[in-house]
Chains A and B, each alone.
Chain A
Amino acid sequence: MNNSLIIGQYVPGNSIVHRLDPRTKITIIFFFVFIVFFANTLISYGILTIFALTSMITSRVPIRFILKGLTPVWFLIVFTFILHLFVTKEGTLIFHLSIFKFYSGGVIQGLAISVRFFLLILVTSLLTLTTTPIEITDAIEDMLHPLNKIKFPVHELALMMSISLRFIPTLMQETDKISKAQASRGVDFRTGPIKDRAKAVVPLLVPLFVSAFKRAEELAMAMEARGYHGGEGRTKLRELKIGKHDILIYILFAFVIAILFYTRSY
């Protein structure tokens, strides 16, 4: 019944992008987000776009999943474009509509910002589309490792994240079960005045909390029984490994940066 449950947006696959070390993906995306703002010529934008589109194609993630990720921001992209169109008063006048004057600078600026937006969202959603949440957790744990020195509980944080990921499907099943049981006792979650509907949440939330606490208690006991005593002296099964592909991508990306800075205008 719950075979369809997917946490986050991960689309299973075995492409090069999927197989990259999650730290590689996070690092590259971090720098990509940064350098997008340095692009200012057609060629520099072109390079970044080619990079993003190539990543997308090699990931073999179906287009519809990517478009689904873009839907909530589609409006934002169009809105910024129009805003620029109206506000920017640079370049030559190209169009006159009653009191509004549209300049070439507005079109260019609007396009540039929209492309930036588009690239940012495309690349960041590629991360979540090709990396399992647990891989991201591992990567974060590894990358934050230096913070251990200032007593920041990196391991605990990562463990908390992975346990949450593990229990999301369980709690979703539970929510479904309890809401059906209460509906059967005459609770109406869907109709009626807002006040009644808000009240209807109590019979759902109380049992959910009670059960979550019980689960937490039992899980803690089971973990202790299985010898869990913090991160000290702990080894890990899941290993992050920088492979050939990762190095290749780093080199390629260095090239992209180099060409970008070479072709941008100063």
Chain B
Amino acid sequence: MRKIIEFRNVSFRYEDEQPWVLKNLSFEIYENEWIAIIGHNGSGKSTIAKLLNGLLFPQEGEILIDGKQVNQDTIWDIRKDVGMVFQNPDNQFVGTTVQDDVAFGMENRGFPREDMIKRMEETLSAVGMQDYLLTEPHRLSGGQKQRVAIASVLAISPQVLILDEATAMLDPKGRTEIMQTVTDVQSENELSLITITHDLTEVVQADRVIVMNEGEIWREALPREIFSLKDQLREIGLDVPFITVLADELNQLGVPITQEPLNHEELLEELWTLHSKT
């Protein structure tokens, strides 16, 4: 597998004398991988996203995107490879209509007009917003705006898509919309995906999870392994999903749950086996 992103001993702080926001971070992300970065507010997780896009630069260590080091000279190339969706749906909508917003990134890169129209149709269909070409942002829901933001990023065919708490300001319906869109998009495109969140239920589908705490990588593991940490997760300000707590309680009551369940079906399957064994 090809390495797309590499952090080598990266440390970052906003100003000298201030505490480090990120401390000696090293990790790798591969082609077509879905990585979830999770941590409480202020754990440094969003700073990682900004470093990946060259919106900030580390004081120590280096960051490589597809073999290129992120620095002042490479940022415009890097930003072609790394697309980002931010938290606030309103504050990243540049265009006066959906079509203008999707075009914005392509205009910046000097795409010919015919390509823009073609890409726009493709990406808006991919996020299910093809019927809203001329709609103005204040007539869209938060979830719809975020889908447009995803389409705008996809339009420039990046290698990496970062969602920086893109669901944090949405209602449950919008959240489901976005998670569904992201899952579809990732399965249909050659794309590495980084979702940054504080919601543990959003990491289930990821290939790997990086848990951040106090500016450091606290754990890096499969979702299932992360879920099994329970109390330790609570200690660093995260929540434990219902199904994990239930499995734990059952184990304590002597009902042997062998595998850490990721969803209802997995636990029900085990319970069914136990139930019908006799």
Contact = CB atoms under 8 A, between A and B. Distances in A.
Interface of A: 2-3, 5, 134, 162-163, 165-166, 169-170, 173, 214-215, 218-219, 221-229, 233-239
A3 B140 CA distance: 10
Nearest to A170: B90
A163 B95 CA distance: 7
A237 B76 contact: no
Contact of A234 (B88, B108, B152, B153): B108
The SS class assigned to the A binding surface is: helix
Interface of B: 50, 53, 55, 76, 79-80, 83-84, 86, 88, 90-97, 99-100, 103-113, 116-117, 120, 136-139, 152-153, 156
Given A166-B96, A236-B107, A221 B113 contact: no
B161 to A, nearest CB: 12
Nearest to A217: B91
Contacts of B153: 226
A215 to B, nearest CB: 5
Nearest to A165: B96
Nearest to B79: A227
Interface centre among A2, A166, A227, A233 (most CB of B within 10 A): A227
Given A3-B139, A229-B76, A238 B116 contact: no
Contacts of A222: 84, 86, 91-92, 94
Given A3-B139, A235-B111, A237-B107, A223 B99 contact: no
A222 B153 CA distance: 11
Contacts of A173: 138
Contact of A237 (B79, B94, B103): B103
A231 B76 CA distance: 14
Given A226-B153, A237-B116, 15 more contacts: A2-B138, A2-B139, A166-B137, A169-B138, A215-B90, A223-B94, A225-B55, A227-B105, A227-B109, A233-B110, A234-B107, A235-B107, A237-B100, A237-B106, A238-B100
Nearest to B86: A222
Nearest to B52: A225
Nearest to A172: B138
